[in-house]
Amino acid sequence: MGVVVYTSALVAAVRRRETDASGTSLTWNSLLGRLTNESAVLPAAVYAELLVGTHLAGNEAQAAARRTRIDALVARIPLIDFNVSIARHWARAFAKLRRSGEPIPANSLAVAATALHLDFPVLVGPFGAAHFRRVAGLVVEQL
C-alpha cells in the first residue's frame, strides 16, 4: 500500500529540527526517506501549493532552498496529474460534502480524490486532518 502526501505533512517535516540519530523527530530528510521506501505519490495540487511557497519566500536564498527541497521530492516521488477518474471522485465527494454543509478547500478535495482513486491513505501534518476526515471512505494518516 502507498500514501498520498499532503502539503501539511511536508511543511511539518521542514519545520522540525533534527533531534538525534535515533530519529525521534520526523524531519524532512527522514520523511523523504520514508516516502521513498513506500509507494508514495504527490498530487499535482500539492506540487502547486509547494511552488507557491517559493514565490512567497522572504528572500531569494529562502526561495532557492524551497525549490531544492521540492526538486528532491519530485525526483523521488511520482507526481500524479488530476485526471478524469480523479475528477469523478472529486465531484462525488464535493457533492456529498456540499449537501452536508461541510465543504473543504478545492485543493484538499483534489488530494482526497487522488487518494480515493488510488485507494491510498492521505498523509497529513499534525494539524491537517480535520477536514479530510469529513470525506467519506478516505483513510487519513497523521504525522
Per-residue confidence (pLDDT) for residue 143, from 0 to 100: 81
Angle at 42 between CA 47 and CA 138, to 5 degrees: 120
Per-residue confidence (pLDDT) for residue 26, from 0 to 100: 57
Tens digit of pLDDT for each residue in 4-59?
A: 999 998 888 887 754 445 544 556 667 777 776 778 999 999 999 999 999 999 99
What are the DSSP E strand ranges found in the chain? Answer: 2-5, 39-43, 79-80, 122-124, 140-142
The Cα–Cα gap between 2 and 66 comes to 25
The Cα–Cα gap between 117 and 111 comes to 10
Which of 122, 130, 80 has the alpha carbon at shortest distance from 104? 130
Percent of the chain scoring above 70 in pLDDT: 88
pTM tops 0.95, yes or no: no
Per-residue confidence (pLDDT) for residue 19, from 0 to 100: 47
